[in-house]
Amino acid sequence: MAKGQKGRKMYQLLNLFSNIPNINDYNWYGGAPHKSLWKRMFSLYPINLAKNGSLMLLNYDLLLKLWEKNLLTSIFYKKHNKLYLCKDDQLVTNSSIDQIQLLTHARLTTSPREVVQIKVHTLGGTPVYSKITYGKNNSVDCIKGLMQKIQTIIHHTKTQGQNIVEIQINHTHPSLDFIANEGDNLKFILNGLGKQDCITGAQLCQFIDYPLTISAITPGQLTYSKTWS
Ligand SMILES: [Zn+2]
């Protein structure tokens, strides 16, 4: 890289980081998150937060408590006793043990990254997993690459004599889910499936003979899922 380009790159980086508020300027109920996640989130998405506000990281138990207090009704709904995000009808759950295990590969405390693993649910109950793919950006993977991986693992599962009931693409969203208390206003910053995740699901399901679920797993061990069948 030429010297001038290097300088420009550094200037862009400095510009980027100057938009990141200081994590210590906020009052964190229950403790502050890792700075690496805070920085990554603000470098990817524009988030409008009042200065010196009170913030609290979200987990599933807290969501349920807020639901009981009628504080979630404009953003979430319940169906068959399950919690859904209104945006794109995403099922919200506690992360499962294998999803929490996947989070350990996402370098949450140093240099957060997206990681992807395909899980094949079988009739016998024992799942089959693909190798973990390590991503750099914030999209699950290119559709062509994912399709190849899914075909490979379907073939592998069938040759083991197992019947497939569902394909699930687990991937990490290494950002933060939290609530901001801004006076009378409770603001939710959520980290669920994005537009590209939903486009990927809608396109991939056309080529797969089984229900397809895409799940985003966040550091608060919240999982957002959507199924195409
Ligand atoms: Zn995603």
- Write a three-state SS string for 114-178: CEEEEEEEECCCCCEECCCEECCCCCCCCHHHHHHHHHHHHHHHHHCCCCEEEEEEEEECCCCCE
Q: Answer yes or no: is 204 within a domain.
A: yes
Q: Answer yes or no: is 20 within a domain.
A: no
Instruction: Report CA(71)–ligand 1 centroid distance (Å).
Output: 26
pLDDT at 7: 58
Q: Answer yes or no: is 173 within a domain.
A: yes
pLDDT at 111: 86
Domains of the chain: total: 1
pLDDT at 81: 94
Instruction: Report CA(18)–ligand 1 centroid distance (Å).
Output: 26
Q: Which residues surround ligand 1, an ion (CB under 5 A)?
A: 197, 216
pLDDT at 52: 76
Q: Answer yes or no: is 170 within a domain.
A: yes
Instruction: Report CA(191)–ligand 1 centroid distance (Å).
Output: 9
Instruction: Report CA(146)–ligand 1 centroid distance (Å).
Output: 13
Instruction: Report CA(20)–ligand 1 centroid distance (Å).
Output: 22
Instruction: Report CA(130)–ligand 1 centroid distance (Å).
Output: 18
Which secondary-structure segment (H or E) carries 54?
strand 54-57
Q: Answer yes or no: is 13 within a domain.
A: no
Indicate the pTM of the whole model.
0.88
Q: Which residues of the chain have pLDDT under 50?
A: 1-3, 138
pLDDT at 53: 84
Neighbours of 21 (CB within 10 A): 14
Q: Answer yes or no: is 21 within a domain.
A: no
pLDDT at 183: 78
pLDDT at 3: 46
User: What is the residue range of 64's domain?
Assistant: 27-228
